[in-house]
Structure 1
Amino acid sequence: MTTPSLIWANSGDSHVLEPQDLFFERMPRALAERMPRSVKDPDGRWETLHIDGNSWRRRLPTRPLTDETGLSQQDKAPGAWDPELRLKDLDGEGIWAELIFPSISMWTSSLTDPELLRTGVSVINDWALEFQQRSPRFVCTAHLPLLSVEDTVAEIRRTHEMGFRAAFFPVEPPPSLPKFNHDVWEPVWDVLEETGMVMAVHIGTEAHDAGVINGQYHRGPGGAVLNYFETSFGGQRITAQMITSGALERHPGLRVMVSEGGATWGPFLADRMDEGYRQHWSAVRPKLAKLPSEYLFTQVYASFQHDGSAVAAMSAMGWRNVCWGSDYPHIEGTFGHTQSTLRGLFANADPAVRERITVGAFAELFPHVPPVPVA
């Protein structure tokens, strides 16, 4: 029997697990103890999150009942934190390059001390650069100290000079600052466009408190599924804010990637914004040179994992900026069955659509990455 050739794909959504002792090795202990950290129960099913003096308990997800990887419920992908093992995993899966988000460091959006955040972000980025330098296939996202616009601008400049090409944004700014549609953020949009850094947004990254941990807004019947789908709304809100405020019009060179929130929402959001813009014209501020949909279709990208409808977002709905993502090494991702997932998604797709979603959209955002191997 002939073994099918690999469908090579870039990933617009992957993660790296930071070393557990990262902050304790590189920060004064008094500050390190306030940075986000996870302490797992011996059975691996629950964890306690510690963030700047606050602690929360949460149940850890387990692999789906239909999982095809052969891994146990608690196993992690071998290359979750090791760059050399990671490359072996990627080669086996047919994944070429990756846009890589952090893991525990995402919880820095819940920090409220500007000095602590500024120091911690610098540590995270210095370590992430070391990881990125292990392979040109790794595109790590730079963390930003969003409690201060001035600190944010400075860190974007610093990390761009270091070699970062994407900056990680949560779906909402810190609660102490205005939403992203306000002019206070204009210096940030200026420097992103100036440097060419991609604004890389990951869903489920709102600041959390004891009432809302990791997007757990719902409890009771259906809660798990309700929480999972509701996390996608944050990516849609920040996209609408960037468009309707005129930020993308003022910065035509700025590109936004919304990761892990699916992609079929793009055409729907485009229609909804256009309708609101037309039907409520007298109340619309600011007036835009083009319809909102035109900014979305040209400057906004989105990654998805398993969604069959996402292929139709490009092939039938006209949104070319659809990018596949593996969510490696998370258990809801495709590790262990990437090839079967890709074959199922693109079984009936035009080759040009497959190429654009698996390779082209990512390469457009990150042209410095070496090209995918020729099959």
Structure 2
Amino acid sequence: MINPYKKNAKLVLSNGIVFPGFSFGASGTAFGEIVFNTGMTGYQEVITDPSYYGQILTFTYPEIGNTGINLEDSESSINVKGIIVRNYSSNNSNWRSLKDFNQWLVEKNIIGLYGIDTRALVKILRSNGSMNGILTSEDKTVENCLKKISEIPKMEGLNLSKEVTTKQQYLWQKPSETTFDIRKKYLEKTKKLKIVAIDFGIKKSILNRLVSHGCEILVLPYRSSLKDVLSNKPDGIFFSNGPGDPSSVNEGIDLARSLIEYGEIPMFGICLGHQIFGLALGGATYKLQFGHRGLNHPCGKNNKIEITSQNHGFAIDPNSLSKDIVKITHHNLNDNTVAGLEVNNKPIFSVQFHPEAGPGPHDSDYLFKKFVSLMLERC
């Protein structure tokens, strides 16, 4: 059901293309990088994923909002700057729904645009690459919008982890609500393991999955030092997902390099954490034309395929990695980008995708068990 009280709004792209539509959610103006997500479900998780910080998100699925908002599915208190949809629904029809989608967007100050041809927008982004833009419900001229866009920094070179990381350390002990393939017998045999997680923009569901695999997690800010980590005597170390350009997160790269050289503690990285590992190992990263953001990316190697959830705009250059130091374990089978790696002769590995997400299949959940197994071998 579309809001009958339509208020004009528009999207202006940096290349001058304008998409006129209608406003919903919060009013005002948002600017940032325009990206798109191809997932058919999980809009609440997506909107609250810190990896989208500083971006305006286009949903390719034509109607968003029909299941409302609940208390369980938000990944963090961080939100996208704005969202773009073909249609939005104010008619909630899910038993867990506690709040109207539009009302929630207003409370979170998320600006929305609907009524545009999202297929046309996505084709532009796929052809020309993700670009900066402005989403506004205010009476701004296109010329003023383009002037503002010219002042917006590009994503390359931006360290956004400092904007979304925790300010103080905290302990996380809440398990996931689902157990997937974890058996009670397995958990009974698993020693309670202590993980130090470096927060570059961590998702709640990652923490929950680690707890469900028999861990407790001490979450530290992204600028934590080697001494900060080792003083807590962790059984394992986790590097989280997050937004921005991985090559700009110098503190995280330096920490990863020091821990890899130390080499005695199992380490696991996801998404931005994976890219930071690659940089710490002497590799390089580059910006993808329009990124990988969706729920059905096939990844694997040697005839083994996993269907994965992904959200990233940068990738590791495979030619920059030394085969004497690191082995590539997964490729994205859509474009052959690096989707997983492990350090030779050390208990350290990472993946570009999100094994906690379970986008229908749970193909990648075994990675948490692999991390736990590496820790148990050394306890």
| TM norm structure 1 | 0.33
| TM norm structure 2 | 0.33
Higher relative contact order (CA 8 A, sep 6+): 1
Larger % of helix: which?
1
Larger % of strand: which?
2
